[in-house]
Amino acid sequence: MAFPDRTTHGPPAPQMRELGETREDAMRALAARDVAPGVVGYADGEPVAWCSISPRTEIPRLGAPAVEAHPIANRAADAGAAPDRIDLTMAFAGTWSMFDKAGFAVVGETKAKGSGRPRLVMRRDC
């Protein structure tokens, strides 16, 4: 199959064209690299799924400098306080303690509220 002017997943069409004349040729070239671009899922010996797991540096358009979250502040004002319980229906965006444990840092506060508490802006550098 020839490449359209724009691909929806994977490297941009011009980059894929550099790798091969067809999608199959391009994917074979990608798979032959030292760093595998992803994994293939099989059902009954037939390939049925693909998941890209290559490093961000291999897909520049997906390479974000940081990941941002807007969880509920479930802690007291002083930094040493333990997390407080909140109404679970308001925890759909996550909680400060959850993102803190995952290495995110508070970088600001939004004007939004959840359970009467501020929604934070938390960031983790990639």
Each residue's pLDDT tens digit, 31-90: 788 877 788 889 999 988 878 777 767 766 666 678 899 998 887 555 556 677 777 777
Report helix, strand or coil for 91.
Answer: helix
Between residues 6 and 10, the one the model is more confident about: 10
Let me know: does 73 contact 119? Beta carbons within 8 Å.
yes
Tokens of 27: 């994917």
pLDDT at 7: 44
CB atoms under 10 Å from CB of 54, counted, come to: 16
Which tens digits make up the pLDDT trace of 89-116? 777 888 888 999 999 999 999 998 877 8
Amino acid identity, residue 45?
G
